[in-house]
Amino acid sequence: MVQVDKSREKYLNDGGSLVASYSKNLAITTTDSYVTILDIDSRGVRESIISIYNSHATNSIDYIVYGCVDLYPNADITGTAATDYANGWVILKDTTALAGLAVPVIETLTNPYARVVVQVRATVGASQGTVSAYHRGEN
């Protein structure tokens, strides 16, 4: 499955309207290298929650969360810190392992980034996991 984004939705109109955005990417099989599973336009988002679940019975996955204050940074994420930092990317959550069938991990963000990216890979090479990720943000 590919990433699904729902349009921003105004759900209150009482003079202090909230606008929400939603994204998800389900049943993605990892590879030995980091791949992006969520790429979120978070310009209008003040607070976000990201839920990541590894549905594989035994294989562990690693995930990492990046942020950028520029919606269109100089280059995509390379995985080399000095290069990524020079291009505007920062690591919001460094490499973290998630065991197969473990309780979903919840990451919360309260800083206003223009773009947030979640990447995953197999913790052990050639031992792939299956992951699903969800995002919900509000202004």
Q: Domain with 100 in it: what CATH number?
A: 2.60.120.20
CA distances from 13 to 16, 45, 72, 112 (A): 7, 17, 31, 23
pTM score, whole prediction: 0.90
Quick check: is 10 in a domain? no
Quick check: is 11 in a domain? no
Count of alpha carbons within 13 Å of 55, Cβ hemisphere only? Answer: 10
* Domain count of the fold of the chain: 1
CA distances from 24 to 8, 40, 73, 82 (A): 14, 10, 23, 29
Quick check: is 4 in a domain? no
- The reported pLDDT for the residue numbered 87 is 93
Cα separation, 61 vs 128, whole angstroms: 7
The parent domain of residue 70 ranges over 19-138
- The reported pLDDT for the residue numbered 111 is 76
Quick check: is 14 in a domain? no
Intervals of the chain under pLDDT 50: none
Cα separation, 134 vs 10, whole angstroms: 19
Give 50's strand partners: 107, 135
